[in-house]
Amino acid sequence: MANLFITTGRKVKQLAQLAHLRVVWNEIKRPTQELSRPVLTVSDQLQLAIDWLLLAHVAVTQQGFSAKYTLATEWDRSYPETTGYIIPTLINYSLQTTYRNEDIKQVIIKSGEWLLSIQQPTGAFLNYEGDQAMVFDTGQVIFGLCAIYRTTQDIRYLLAAKRAGDWLLGEQEVDGAWIKHAYKQRPHVYYSYVSWALLELAHFDPDSGYRETAIKNLDWVVNQQQLNGWFNHFSFIPGPANLHTIGYTLQGLLAASEILGDEKYCKAAQLTADRLLILNQSKVLEGIYTNQWQSVGRSRCLTGLAQIGLVWQKLFSITQDKKYQQAAISVFSYLQTVQVVTGHNPDIKGALAGSVPLWGDYLPFAYPNWAPKFFIDLGLAVQNNLVVPSSIIALTELTQVFHQAQVRYWLNMGTLLGAVRGGALIKGDMDIDLGIVVDEVPKVLPLLAQLGKQGWRVDVTTFSIFFSKPTKGILIELMIYQHYQDQLWTPLVKILPRFNRLLQYADLIAERSLYKQYHQNIPWHHRLAYGLIPRWLDRPTRHGLFHLNAFFGQQHQAMAFPDKFIATLVPTCLYGQEFPAPSPAGEYLHHIYGSDWRTPNPYWRVDMVPAIDRTIFNTKDQAKYTLI
């Protein structure tokens, strides 16, 4: 209890020193500011994170990276540990994009030179305070030195990495742990991340003993695991563990399993990752857990979330079990919502806080440099490992035809929701949703014969055109929106009394019969049914059946939204490809799905859409609308 009062008092004192109260006020209001937050692509948000890291480099006169930006003291001193493992992230990013490549190259070289200049004669690197050689910090610098050597072949970096590795070998305990020069002079299982660094170094010098030292530590780590997935010595200090150290532990084990080809490390990591997967199903993971996996505190550790996302993404690449990929995407989507992308303080634009809320348990009122590092790692991993479904390949084929005919369409409904949440389809979403204004239909109808020759089945109705490849399980619905004052609408929900089923099938035939010349590759029995109604009777039959259905109680409910959302369509990324989308996408999705649109709801039904307007359209009105 005393510790609680001390911690609370420290936070209050820190809050009193704040020079940027507006940032705190914005954090307090954040749940109510969802509509004003811009929805950016994954690439845009990764670029913002890169910008912030490069700014953190400039803030310390180009000597590594500032450890963090705090609202009390602004930019902090350089941090050798995190500078070490930020370097591989920057190199990996620059290999996959051209964004600020020259700037990134210069930052990497200057940071590397700074690391060489501060290495101790023993080969070790000092802690953040600069007063003690530390095992963990030295291990993380090895990542950066090896990455620069791999890129430049400058032997100075390999020799420095080997001196650091040799020092680590000499500090290891007989049982495989590190205690001397460890945090609080205690053993920690998250030093598996140090073993990963040694295995990277062993690639350049296989006979140095680095590999054996790493294995010795990793075996000690695995022996600390309990049946419920918890590890002894999980935390910085005895007691509950922060998600950050949990992430370090699992990342180190998975990397070691891949390098060594030893499944026992993967199985140990997977046991814990599966426990976290269960916890993540009900809500986003909390920041601190006890050894019984009970959450402690009321905040989230953003760095730890990114790390666990990386763990799940790695498990997906190993097992091809999509539950891991979905979990990784879900975590990344959450992190996208809490990255700083707007505001009055340019020093935090692109950053991620230590905790959400900002005054949470991990680094309150601070923006550490390692949070965007792991955010970038996760973003790249998610993008690179997305398995593009056949439906997206088919969508690209279809929209290429649309583009050639200058058809103005947009990602719609659940497809847009998945694209904005995580650049992928929502789990369980069986079709692709597109939207189009009725004015564009004359451009689409002449394309249908061409699409039929390309193997598409086309079914035309007044309010939707369905493009499908049934043998491949592909269905794309092009929803057609009508004008009503300053809104666009389309029927979304049909309420049908049970005794009215026969009439439903009858008006379905009448509706499709009106467009019989546009259908492509439909089954013979459908063609026969549509042909039962002579062309001159198409409209009267359709009109009469709609009125009869209305008489017996059939109801249509329209979904409507302001047409301002499609005044300007903006590119939105879906499986690495850009498609047009309403703007602002966040406001549009809020209008369609409600304020909690970012949160997956396994119990969602189409009749729960808040945008349903029962006054615009009814069943009798359906006869008024035709495409021809």
Q: Residue 158 belongs to a domain with what CATH number?
A: 1.50.10.10
- Same domain for 428 and 380: no
Indicate if 68 and 215 belong to the same structural domain. yes
Indicate if 402 and 368 belong to the same structural domain: no
Give the chain's domain count.
2
| Domain co-membership, 277 together with 420 | no
pTM over 0.85: no
pLDDT at position 4: 32
The confidence score (pLDDT) of residue 582 equals 92
Q: What is the rounded CA–CA span in Å between residue 244 and residue 163?
A: 28
Of the candidates 326, 307, 300, 298, the residue with the CA atom closest to the CA atom of residue 372? 307
- How far is it, in rounded angstroms, from Cα 489 to Cα 106? 53
Domain boundary among 340, 355, 385: 385
Radius of gyration of the chain (CA): 29
d(C-alpha 317, C-alpha 325), whole Å: 8
Asked whether residue 34 falls in the same domain as residue 167, the answer is yes
CB 243, CB 308: distance < 8 Å: yes
Residue numbers in the chain where pLDDT is lower than 70: 1-39, 493-511, 514, 529-530, 532-533, 536-538, 541-543, 545-556, 602-603, 606-607, 613-628
**Residue 38 shares a structural domain with residue 16:** yes
Neighbour count for residue 174 (Cβ, 10 Å): 6
Please enumerate in sequence order all residues whose Cβ is within 8 A of that of 178, keeping only pairs 6 or more positions apart, or say none. Answer: 135, 168, 171, 172, 187, 188, 191, 194, 217
Nearest to 339 by CA among 46, 618, 16: 46
Assess whether 545 and 619 both reside in one domain: yes
Q: Kindly report the CA angle at 308 between 307 and 311, in degrees rounded to 5?
A: 95
d(Cα 571, Cα 39) in Å, to the nearest integer?
11
For residues 372 and 363, give the distance between their C-alpha atoms in angstroms, rounded to a whole number: 14
Same structural domain, 498 and 595: yes
Residues listed for the chain: 628
Q: What is the rounded CA–CA span in Å between residue 291 and residue 280? A: 17
- In degrees, to the nearest 5, what angle opens at C-alpha 57 toward C-alphas 56 and 59? 65
530 to 80, 236, 509, 527: CA distances (angstroms):
74, 72, 6, 5
Residue 488 and residue 506 share a domain? yes
> Considering 385, 417, 449, which residue would you say is the last residue of a domain?
385
- What is d(CA 83, CA 81) in angstroms, rounded to the nearest whole number? 6
pLDDT at 590: 87
Structural domain including 472 reads 390-624
Domain boundary at 325, 352, 385, which? 385
Pairwise CA distance, residues 426 & 391, whole Å: 13
Q: Does 338 lie in the same domain as 294?
A: yes
For residues 264 and 408, membership in a common domain is answered with no
Say what the pLDDT of residue 500 is: 60
- 478 lies in the same domain as 609: yes
Tokens of 359: 């005054």
Q: For 522-536, how does the pLDDT look when each residue is reduced to its tens digit (9 = 90+)? A: 887 777 766 766 776
